[in-house]
Structure 1
Amino acid sequence: MPTLALYVDYRKAYDMVWHAGLLVKLHDLGMPIALLKTTASWLGNRQAYIAFGDKVSEKYKIDIGLPQGSSLSPSLFIVYHCDLIQCLGAHSGHIFADDLSVLITATIISYLEEEGTEVCRKIAAYAKKWKQPINVQKTVAQIFYKQIKRPEIKIHMEGHQPGNS
């Protein structure tokens, strides 16, 4: 049976995680208030500065994103997007670190095109709502099919066609 795989690339995945949105999702998942406050403090009490030669800028507050290199960041990113998998319905969605893949299986190729475009529309709407932009140029659609000649499909996301692999 033909299967369409969508590999979705988030633009600056960890850097763009919206703190308020993440805290809402953690609360909705039942995180205890004390741990929620600790997480809010960990996210909100970060500052940075720029050093160039002997010049140093003023410190500025970092109010978006997850810290690069932190062992918590991949887990928090997955929690931030766990409800996306539910909104995709019956299709198989998988998140690992900052990678999202969705598998759609159907007996008819035209259904794969329609459903693939609909899934892309849902992902794009979700990404806009939760302020997590998609890099459509790095998002890939790949079809798996037993026949010798692989069918061509046209999937659309935000007015663009994801690359084919």
Structure 2
Amino acid sequence: DPATKQQAITSSEKAELLRKTFFPVPPDTDIEDIENANYPAPTAMPPITTREIEEAIEEAAPLKAPGPDGITNKALQIASPWIKHHLTKIFNQSLTLGYYPEHFRQSTTVVLRKPGKDNYTVPKAYRPIALLNTTGKIMEAVIAKRLSYLAETHNLLPDTHMGGRKLRSTEHALHLIIDKIYDAWNTGSGKVASLLLLDVSGAFDNISHARLLHNLRKRKIDERTVKWIGSFLRPRFTTLSIDGFTSEPYKLETGEPQGSNLSPILYLFYNADLIEKCGELDDTATTGFIDDVAILTWADSTKETCKKLQEALHIAE
């Protein structure tokens, strides 16, 4: 343990140390602006259809490892003709109640070594892979697709926010940045362009649930869906699996599951304000790719651009 300098010897000690590393207690979040917030009229969210469920089952990778209940995507695909109508009723009732069943919130977190590390005696050299119960992942995929549709149809997210969206790849993000740099250089007045790159450490594991739900409401997601997402987020339960050892279930009160189809689009809603706020500065353009943010600014000198980037960093913090 880097903090205490103590060694984790037994499997249970290793699991506990990795739990603290993967799922740390996040710092307090300033949410004063959320209190008494007024929200715009929400977009419509009609009932889930059987066809949506069929498509989600068909698109699921058949050989992907299952969650703790052992039900595979392949099993769901085989059983789809007999279960799809039942799932339609279950999922719609879940959405109506704003409650995500606890069984769907259970997972197994498999611990894998990160490739190319020199030292595997430290927790940071390992990566958690969450194996979620597949039936729940079908509903998550349906909700994720709906949120993505609403985001594009109603312009709920910044145009320069890439990743997790159709036709918005890393190449698009790079082209945006490069074009802005050339525009600055080609003004004929000797402009200097400077770029600040931000990477959020443990982004999915450290989101503020209150902030995320506030941002969803602010961006016109209906209250029923927001309540359901709140239930999807917490509490979650996971066991850690390492070297053949499986821990007791841990209760997770923060973050969002990395193995869920829903997590990327939720994170786009979560940090959309950051993209917009930094982009409002004069002679500044901000591009995001999931949790990576590039802030570009241009001015007559490097000193001026660095001053602007300091201001942008202050906003980001």
Alignment TM-score, normalising by the size of structure 2: 0.37
- Aligned match for 2:272, one of 82, 93, 96: 82
Displacement, 1:108?
A: 2.2
The equivalent of 2:198 in structure 1 is 8
Higher relative contact order (CA 8 A, sep 6+): 1
Q: How does 1:117-132 map to 2 (within 5 A)?
A: 117-124=310-317
In 2, the alpha carbon distance for the partners of 1:98 and 1:36 equals 21
Pair 1:50-2:240 in alignment: yes
- Aligned match for 2:309, one of 113, 116, 128: 116
Normalized per residue, the structure richer in strand is 1
Contact 1:5 1:104 in 2 (8 A): yes
- Aligned match for 1:63, one of 224, 235, 253: 253
SS in 2 for 1:49: strand
Contact 2:206 2:254 in 1 (8 A): yes
Displacement, 1:58?
A: 3.1
In 2, the alpha carbon distance for the partners of 1:112 and 1:54 equals 52
Displacement, 1:50?
A: 2.8
Displacement, 1:51?
A: 4.2
Q: How does 1:79-158 map to 2 (within 5 A)?
A: 79-88=269-278, 89-90=280-281, 91-124=284-317
In 1, the alpha carbon distance for the partners of 2:217 and 2:294 equals 26
Normalized per residue, the structure richer in helix is 2
Contact 2:194 2:302 in 1 (8 A): no
Pair 1:41-2:231 in alignment: yes
Q: CA deviation digits over 1:16-42, x for unaligned, max 9?
A: 111121111112222111111111111
Percent of residue pairs bearing the same amino acid type? 29
Q: CA deviation digits over 1:51-93, x for unaligned, max 9?
A: 4567643322211112112222121111111111222223211
User: 1:63 is matched by which residue type in structure 2?
Assistant: E
Displacement, 1:12?
A: 0.8
- Larger deviation: 89-98 or 55-64? 55-64
- Larger deviation: 38-47 or 6-15? 38-47
Instruction: Tell me: CA distance 1:67–1:109, structure 2 relative to 1, closer, same or farther (3 Å).
Output: same
- The total of aligned residue pairs comes to 124
User: 2:302 is matched by which residue type in structure 1?
Assistant: I
Displacement, 1:119?
A: 1.3
Instruction: Tell me: CA distance 1:69–1:58, structure 2 relative to 1, closer, same or farther (3 Å).
Output: closer
- In structure 2, runs of 5+ residues without a counterpart are 1-190
In 2, the alpha carbon distance for the partners of 1:81 and 1:23 equals 12
SS in 1 for 2:294: strand
- In structure 1, runs of 5+ residues without a counterpart are 125-165
SS in 1 for 2:261: coil
In 2, the alpha carbon distance for the partners of 1:51 and 1:12 equals 20
- Aligned match for 2:219, one of 29, 32, 35: 29
Alignment TM-score, normalising by the size of structure 1: 0.67
- Greater Rg over alpha carbons, structure: 2
Aligned-pair RMSD on alpha carbons?
Answer: 1.8
In 1, the alpha carbon distance for the partners of 2:232 and 2:256 equals 10
Contact 1:74 1:98 in 2 (8 A): no
SS in 2 for 1:50: strand
User: 2:271 is matched by which residue type in structure 1?
Assistant: H
In 2, the alpha carbon distance for the partners of 1:55 and 1:102 equals 44
User: 2:286 is matched by which residue type in structure 1?
Assistant: G
